[in-house]
Amino acid sequence: MNRIRLNVVLTLVVVLFAEMVSAQEKEKKEGYHFSIVKEIPTTSVKDQFRSGTCWSFSGLGFLEAEMIRKGVPSVDLSEMFIVWHTYDEKAMKYVRLHGNLNFSAGGAFHDVTHVIKKYGIVPETVYDGLNYGEPKHVHGEMDRLLKSQVEGVIENQNKKLSMAWRESIRGTLDSYLGEIPTTFEYEGNTYTPMSFAQEYVGLDMDDYVEISSYSHHPYYSEFIIEVPDNWMWDEVYNVPLNDLQAIIDNAIEIGYTVAWAADVSEKGFSTSKKGVAVVPDVDWIETREQELVASADTAVSNLSKNRQSGNMTPEKDVYFDDAEIAKWENLSEKEKVEEIYKLEKPGPEKEITQEIRQEAFDNYSTTDDHGMLIVGKAKDQNGTIYYKVKNSWGEYNDYDGFFFASKPYIGYKTMSIMVHKDAIPKNIRKKLNL
């Protein structure tokens, strides 16, 4: 854009140009606006607070939604019951492997189904895991203490280990989370954790499978997903990206929620009130510049015609230096990218391919950060489809703790999902031998 254009005087009589600027400003003020297309009933948003237990919150949120789907009365299940047993088993495996295993607060959806299948489950009202004087979950001290305990066991200078160390781990878990109940009363009935899982919850943990999409393993086979939090070395089914998308869409369409493990470290994942997760197309900067130049050329042409026809009046002049093209051109490349990532309104997003997805996994751009629950679909003011997602950070945003993830974000940053077998399209189930 040469400087001559920047110094040309425009007129407000150029209605098209004025309307364009007005529309852009209006849309900018509006931000993102969503209308629900499909929503599946689920339990309330919970708050994991300062604990690394999103996998337990989202995994149980998924199963709670499954109970609702099957007509079982809504119940808030105990996340810390799952955490207690997971830490106990993880400690044993960590010691057996001489510390060559990830030992942290992280986990996976299959940890939840494994614990319920092996130990049962209890309601939140029976076991809230807050045995240490805090109103919400704050696990930094407990996590560090448990890690130091298992490391101390491994570094033991004795020639062999006693088994007393495991009781010390359990003692720490009891001190912070509380002792696991052997029996309890719920709605006038007496249960054990196992009988409650079988008789009240009534879900078959074998009905739930995990699915991912990476090209470094054969499609339509199972593989151990290589992320640190997969301490159990559990397997997921591998499908092409198009099939992964089809499974999610089919599940939502026929009334099943989807447990979603994903990377939330992207700039396009808003942790603020905006409540969106998107993959802005930074390559769009060049396209945007071309659009602005074209608009300016049109405005200059209209100005010239108005001058020739004598329709210009001084009071209707506006300097081109105030136009968007001038402001845009004065930004550095870094500032242009920052403008896009302000997420002030819907914009073009990156096209996600299997290759892009794989590269992000291989180079650590995609990591196993967070577990959430996909509960429906929505569309923005432009008609673009998003997925409605239940988080476990309390009611932290304008959507009461839910947020909206775009299709590109889902395709790009999904590590794995958990679904009921029946939520998978029949043709894909056949390929997976399910």
Q: Give 5's pLDDT tier (boundaries 50, 70, 90).
A: very low
**pLDDT surpasses 90 at 25:** no
- Residue 321 falls inside a structural domain: no
- Residue 420 falls inside a structural domain: yes
How high is the pLDDT of residue 4? 42
Specify the number of domains making up the chain.
Answer: 1
The whole-angstrom separation of Cα 233 and Cα 225 is 7
How high is the pLDDT of residue 287? 55
- Residue 211 falls inside a structural domain: yes
How high is the pLDDT of residue 210? 98
- Residue 327 falls inside a structural domain: no
- Which domain, by its residues, includes 222? 35-280+349-432
pLDDT > 70 in the chain, percent: 80
Question: Tokens 């009534």 identify what position?
Answer: 202
- The DSSP annotation for 240-263 comes to -HHHHHHHHHHHHHTT--EEEEE-
Question: Tokens 């359990």 identify what position?
Answer: 170
- Residue 296 falls inside a structural domain: no
The whole-angstrom separation of Cα 367 and Cα 113 is 22
- What global pTM score does this model have? 0.84
Half-sphere exposure of 282 (CA within 13 A, CB side): 11
- Residue 102 falls inside a structural domain: yes
Segment (H or E) for 372: strand 370-379
Q: CATH number of the domain that 77 lies in?
A: 3.90.70.10
Question: Mean pLDDT across the stretch 234-242?
Answer: 98
- Residue 339 falls inside a structural domain: no
Write out pLDDT tens, residues 189-208: 999 999 999 999 999 999 99
- Residue 291 falls inside a structural domain: no
